[in-house]
């Protein structure tokens, strides 16, 4: 037995050393202290500490990039909180973490990307693995199901990414926090500002097929059920909840129009949350996007936020 254990340990040393080296290289390429995902901590702190009544925005990175919560808050006379960060966190993560802190008079605006109703309602476990590894205390914010997902898949996916980045020394996609994507890029309200003044780098898609595909309703129905429960709990606390459509590049929107409308029809039928707009109300030309079809530039953010503030004012005025 001793011989077996000894040899097993020696053997395991090789992959562990390789992963250790990869991790070291990875941390040099992406310093953990400036990790974009760590902004989740600041946003959760803001949810806890910001005085009520507030306007709280929940969604993915399109909310971080595309909403000027200060502008909207000033128009409505509410304290702003922008929890938008990354769709990979899963919409349920922010619903779960925000809900206990919702107070009477708060206005909650859900503005997730379309994929949040399909593949990103629950988190990408790799992102949580990355998240926990950067700051272990974040484990406390996760549910048991999320921790299990991290153990089952998240860490393996994360280690594979670390290995690939260390060997190839490149950033495979935007799911890695780099460049402008930094914790310090947010203002005190949780709005992302670091891209203001930067040239747009987004190009039209080469493919002609639908960008957003809505095939399987099962996940969406489960997501709507979850959202309805969230809205009910918020309302029981004296808060109001609305849904807004995400900003989207017009050509990509047209390519996915049928799928988006089918999703929207299902939402209208089954979601017990008033909608502030129609999908086509949040469609913008390419020059108003920064680096993806969801991330608005500073000018796009201003136009979108002005429109959203007006719709919110109208919707709130209609309520008893």
Partner 1 sequence: MTFTTLTFLLFLALFFPLYWALRNRTAQNLLIVAGSYFFYGWWDWRFCGLMLVSSLLDYFAGLALNHPTAPRQRRAILFTAMAGNISLLGFFKYFNFFAESLQAAAAGLGWKLDLPVLHVVLPVGISFYTFQTMSYTIDVYRGKLRATGRIVEYLAYVSFFPQLVAGPIERATHLLPQFFQARVFRYDLAVDGCRQMLWGFFKKLVIADNLAPLVEMAFSDPAGHRGIELAAGTVCFALQIYCDFSAYSDIACGVARLLGFDLMRNFACPYFSQSMAEFWRRWHISLTTWFKDYVYIPLGGGRGGRWRHARNVLLTFLLSGLWHGASWNFVLWGLLNGLLVLPQTFSSTHRGGRVDESPGGAGWLPKPAVVLRMLLTFALVCVGWVFFRAATLADAGLILRKVLLDHDGLVDVYHATAFVRQGPLAGQSYGLVAVLLLVEWLGRSHAHALAGLARWPWPLRWLAYLALTSAILWWGNSSSSPFIYFQF
For β-strands 54-58 and 107-110, DSSP reports them as: parallel
Q: Could you give the CA distance from residue 205 to residue 271 in angstroms, rounded to a whole number? A: 31
Nearer to partner 1, 148 or 229 (CB): 148
Name the minimum Å distance from CB 152 to partner 1.
4
- The smaller minimum CB distance to partner 1, of residues 47 and 129, is found at 129
**Which span (2-10, 46-54, 87-95, 233-241) binds partner 1, by CB under 8 A?**
2-10
Torsion over CA: 53, 314, 272, 300 (sign):
negative
Which of 14, 173, 207, 318 binds partner 1 (CB under 8 A)? It is: 14
* Minimal distance, residue 64 CB to partner 1, in Å: 26
CA-to-CA dists, residue 194 to 64, 152, 240, angstroms: 11, 35, 31
Task: Decide whether 29 or 157 has the Cβ nearer to partner 1.
Answer: 157
Question: What is the CB-side half-sphere exposure of residue 69 using CA atoms within 13 A?
Answer: 32
Residue with tokens 């009520």: 52
Neighbours of 196 (CB within 10 A): 14
Q: Which residue, 48 or 160, has its beta carbon nearer to partner 1? A: 160
Size of interface with partner 1, in residues (CB under 8 A): 21
Cα separation, 133 vs 148, in Å, equals 15
**Cβ nearer to partner 1, comparing 24 with 48:** 24
Q: Shortest Cβ distance from residue 153 to partner 1 (Å)? A: 5
CB of 176 to partner 1, least distance (A): 16
CA neighbor of 304 nearest in space, from 118, 67, 100, 82 = 67
What is the full DSSP assignment across 240-290? EEEE-PPPEEHHHHHHTHHHHHHHHHHHHHH--S-BSS-GGGGEE-GGGBS
Assess 3 for contact with partner 1 (CB under 8 A): yes
Contact 183, 157 (CB under 8 A): no
Among 15, 20, 105, 274, binds partner 1 (CB under 8 A): 15
319 in contact with partner 1 (CB under 8 A):
no
Q: To the nearest whole angstrom, how small is the minimum distance from the Cβ of residue 182 to partner 1?
A: 27
Residues 29-58: x where in contact with partner 1 by CB under 8 A, - otherwise, as a string: ------------------------------
- Is residue 8 at the binding interface for partner 1, with CB under 8 A as the rule? yes
Distance CA 39, CA 93 (A): 14
Q: How far is the CB of 179 from partner 1 (least distance, A)?
A: 26
Is residue 158 within 8 A of residue 12, CB to CB? The reply is no
Query: Binding pattern to partner 1, positions 144-183, x when CB under 8 A?
Result: ----x--xxx-xxx-xx--x--------------------
Candidate ranges 7-15, 79-87, 92-100, 184-192; the one touching partner 1 (CB under 8 A): 7-15
Q: HSE-up of 20 (CA within 13 Å, CB side)?
A: 6
* Cα–Cα distance measured from residue 108 to residue 106, given in angstroms and rounded to the nearest whole number: 6
Q: Near partner 1 by CB under 8 A, which window of 6-14, 35-43, 104-112, 273-281? A: 6-14
* Residue ranges that bind partner 1, judged by CB under 8 A: 1, 3-5, 7-8, 11, 14-15, 18-19, 148, 151-153, 155-157, 159-160, 163
């Amino acid at each position: 037995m001793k011989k077996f254990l000894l040899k097993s340990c020696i053997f395991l040393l090789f992959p562990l050393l390789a992963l250790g080296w990869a991790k070291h290289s990875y941390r040099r390429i992406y310093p953990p202290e400036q990790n974009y995902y760590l902004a989740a901590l600041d946003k959760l702190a803001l949810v806890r500490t910001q005085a009520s009544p507030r306007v709280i925005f929940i969604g993915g990175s399109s909310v971080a990039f595309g909403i000027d919560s200060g502008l909207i808050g000033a128009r409505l006379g509410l304290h702003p909180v922008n929890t938008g960060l990354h769709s990979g966190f899963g919409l349920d993560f922010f619903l779960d973490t925000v809900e206990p802190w919702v107070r009477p008079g708060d206005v909650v605006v859900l503005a997730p990307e379309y994929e949040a109703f399909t593949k990103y309602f629950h988190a990408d476990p790799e992102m949580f693995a990355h998240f926990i590894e950067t700051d272990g205390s974040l484990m406390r914010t996760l549910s048991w199901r999320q921790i299990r997902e991290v153990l089952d898949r998240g860490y393996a996916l994360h280690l594979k990414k670390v290995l690939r980045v260390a060997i190839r020394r490149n950033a495979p996609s935007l799911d890695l926090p780099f460049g402008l994507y930094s914790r310090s890029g947010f203002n005190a309200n949780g709005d992302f500002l670091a891209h203001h003044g930067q040239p747009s780098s987004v190009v039209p898609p080469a493919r002609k097929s639908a960008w957003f595909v809505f095939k399987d309703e099962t996940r969406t129905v489960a997501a709507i059920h979850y959202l309805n429960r969230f809205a009910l709990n918020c309302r029981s606390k004296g808060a109001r909840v609305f849904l807004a459509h995400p900003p989207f590049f017009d050509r990509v929107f047209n390519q996915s129009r049928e799928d988006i409308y089918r999703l929207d029809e299902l939402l209208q039928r089954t979601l017990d949350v008033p909608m502030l707009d129609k999908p086509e109300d949040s469609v913008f030309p390419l020059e108003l996007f920064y680096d993806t079809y969801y991330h608005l530039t500073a000018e796009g953010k201003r136009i979108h936020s002005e429109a959203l503030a007006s719709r919110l004012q109208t919707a709130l005025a209609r309520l008893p």
